[in-house]
Amino acid sequence: MIFRNPSGAPELACDACGCRWFDRMTDRCYECGEPVSAEARSAFAQALSEWQREIGVALQPDTAVAEPDRPDG
- Convert the pLDDT of each residue in 21-72 to its tens digit: 888 888 899 999 999 999 998 999 999 999 999 988 865 555 555 545 555 5
Range of the domain at 19: 2-55
Q: What pLDDT score does 60 carry?
A: 58
| Number of domains comprising the chain | 1
- Residues 47, 49, 67, CA angle at the centre, nearest 5°? 140
Q: Residue 69: inside a domain, yes or no?
A: no
Q: What pLDDT score does 72 carry?
A: 56
**Is 0.85 surpassed by the pTM of this model?**
no
Those residues whose C-beta lies under 8 Å from the C-beta of residue 53, and which sit 6 or more positions away, are: 59
Tens digit of each residue's pLDDT (9 = 90 or more) over 1-18: 899 999 999 999 999 998
CA 6 – CA 61 distance, rounded (Å):
28
Q: Residue 62: inside a domain, yes or no?
A: no
CA 21 – CA 62 distance, rounded (Å):
25
- In the chain, DSSP finds a helix count (H) and a strand count (E) of 1, 4
